[in-house]
Chain A
């Protein structure tokens, strides 16, 4: 018995293993990975994957990731799944088969229902390091890519991995790689065989929010078949036009609206209206009539619901609603183009001109207007007509046009267009109570909160209070409205009267007025050092003009009247002027400049942000009578 207890207490002691250079800081090391995909035809492929992973981190997400196997019901089948877990001394701790895994629905937090499911096993918290040997065999019906991403997470090092792709000799493959050497290729027995390998890949460690995106750092092999099949449809990735044609065909029979709908739409517009008015009237009609409901089942993940269905049910996903809007515009003889895009607050750069593939997750509608085009976001009930947010800005998208589909670049915004301008009058009394009348104009990505237009007033005020630096304040009045700012451009205007008892600090006969009023000039958290280049993807500017009415008998004791800080990353300036009646005018402005920067620039960036923070951290000190 004693032996058993001692075994319990000490047998799991950790053996220290040598760590290679590329594994420094790694929480996971993929020791060996082999992946083999055999394509039988455009509607059948088999995948065999095995890997040996050493788990070094006690953070359980790393181990659990490798025991999570997503699949799509009806299209993929995981036939065989085994996992063995060994401790540092090579003793087997766990042996799993497919039946030991749970089979659960996978959620995207957006959709009502999808085909997405996953097998997963929640592994016990073994003492690290331990090793997992995993083997998976799966079958896939339709595939639009046979890509390989051996490393998909940070802090994961890789020692040795290979990918073998076997395809019928007559099946043309389009290939693109990143951080992986060229394939060896050969043909035998009516098949073509490609093989890639990668060795000693360093664990990626990003510690800074502006550091190079993971998608640019990861190794991958992207493989798409020149021709593919999905259900009973056939498509091709031979060009963007050919892929676009497949998308076009999926929706080609879906744009007919019922006669009564057509009549209703025609009644909304007439020839006296400008093109902009017509588009916006019909966009508003679509917004008022529909709501976003995502249902992604089978080919429905690609094929939009018909316009008639959306008109009747008054809901649909991005595809269905964009298709519906296209049908509406068509009734008014306004041409438009269904457009697919990789949406998200960060442009992941996955769509490139030279590699037609499916890298899209969203649909919008592109409408030619004069010499320009606008994008209509059809999933929002509150987005202004033509307003483009950071969700779809400044990236490549595929415009679908019968026979002529092509990539287009969506509109980007620069620092002149992304701005927030505050002008305010601050009144202070001798006890430090402060009162502000504020007018705020926000534009571009800084105006991107139109979804609040339908929100409850309390929520609007609470959200507004979070965006204003003025201590804890009470709002006497608050109004927001959308203001036209040119064709298909809008600004958000907010006006408020607010008062605060604790923004200004009274110490003895001094009043301390924080310079950082109304808008905070904020920067991402700064680690000591970074490993990768970094970028400011969107420039923007903040301007605050504050007139300060100071209490009688008080005067400014101590403030540097002018401060300018310039760098490649941005510019900061501050002026404090006193007018004849002793009141102050404070102007602060900050512009973040869009740009890409090397690792070596990081020291300068830290220095710049530190200087700005120091400048912004100052107080205007008003000294009054004793």
Chain B
């Protein structure tokens, strides 16, 4: 037994290395954004990696093009969060910026959301923006209001301010916008399920769940009735 002991130690180390590596691989691949099923070659890829919630390899992707100042987008954000919670393993939600010219604070809001995203709080920031949208939308200046949200979320304010001004942040917003244009988006919110546009009348909990179930069963999300 004593003679075998060093070989058992070596075997144990090998097992720990392989097992630990496999565990890490599994854990990390969950957070990697896998391509969206049904991606068209003509579509602009948008900002990479996009902001998403849910497993990075979930088979159903709900991709929303939203303007942070648009009231129906605030409603859709809540609905998508609720739907994703019901399919924690199968659905990922992707957020794409599509600021509209008619909304005076939309770009600034998008930049602030990206700056929060640089500190890992994108969804928390957009959540606060949507919740309080009716209040800040009416203001003439929103910079301090967004900084207030950043403080509320415990962000490093200096970094938040610096990131907000970085061209990279604006570029991400622009890339999302270009993706939307390449996919025919004209208004917000526009929602896609695995790259197939969700008709406006289907943007509700029951219809989305039916569409998700259809995709999971390998069917068309909206079969012609």
Q: Do A and B actually bind?
A: no
Residues of A within 8 A of B (CB): none
Residues of B within 8 A of A (CB): none
